[in-house]
Amino acid sequence: MRLVLLGAPGSGKGTQAARLKEYLDVPHISTGDLLRAEVAAGSPLGLQAKEVMARGDLVSDEILLGMLRDRFSRDDTRNGFILDGYPRNLAQAAALDQLLADLGQKFDAAVQLTVDNEQIIERLAGRAKAEGRADDSPESVRHRLNVYDQQTAPVIEFYRQHGQLTVVDGVGSLDDVFTRIVEAIAPEKAVG
């Protein structure tokens, strides 16, 4: 199964991708995690990305595509993947289509998790306290939500128009959201 998880910051993409990875037995590719690993390692790419990420802006399309190409060159993505955090603008959506075409692959579904902004702000304020992620400050969260509305929302529309979008309510317990996703993408595998 090849899945693209879409949704605003804090909508639960990473949380659900970690569960789907076990369930579908495919790798979870989070561009945010890949970038944070570069930042933590202090690599040249990480140094370039650090400030951009802390502000809540998007890192350059070129860097992201390079990272993604590199990740998709590994054998473990051959039988499927869960892509979390990419694409985030229309140029990235086109680049993903091209990358998958080059690999002779197509994704099965783009799943959008919907959560209202009030809950998102509450969730990310909770994570800011618990984990201190640099971009979970109130200012960065506000900015990330604006960037999402301006640059990523058109990607949702793009997939809707191409008949590839599945919308899932992202509010509720982790188990409930997980069950909704599985029922939407792989009903034959859903339990209960």
52 near ligand AP5, judged by CB under 6 A? yes
Which element (helix H / strand E) includes 126? helix 117-131
The SS3 call for residue 49 is: helix
Which of 3, 6, 7, 28: binder of ligand AP5 (CB under 6 A)?
7
Q: Is 31 helix (H, G, I), strand (E, B) or coil?
A: helix
Q: Rounded to the nearest whole angstrom, what is the least distance from the CB of residue 121 to ligand AP5 in the complex?
A: 11
The CB-nearest residue to ligand AP5 is 32
Question: Segment near ligand AP5 (CB under 6 A), from 53-61, 69-77, 103-111, 183-191?
Answer: 53-61
For residues 31 and 68, is the Cβ–Cβ distance under 8 A?
yes
Q: Give the interface size with ligand AP5 as a residue count (CB under 6 A).
A: 30
Residue 114's nearest CA partner among 16, 3, 1 is: 16
How far, CA to CA in Å, does 160 sit from each of 16, 95, 111? 21, 18, 10
Binding site for ligand AP5 (CB under 6 A): 7, 9-15, 31-32, 35, 52-53, 56-59, 64, 85-86, 88, 92, 123, 126-127, 135, 144, 172, 174, 177
Catalytic center residues: 13, 88, 127, 133, 144
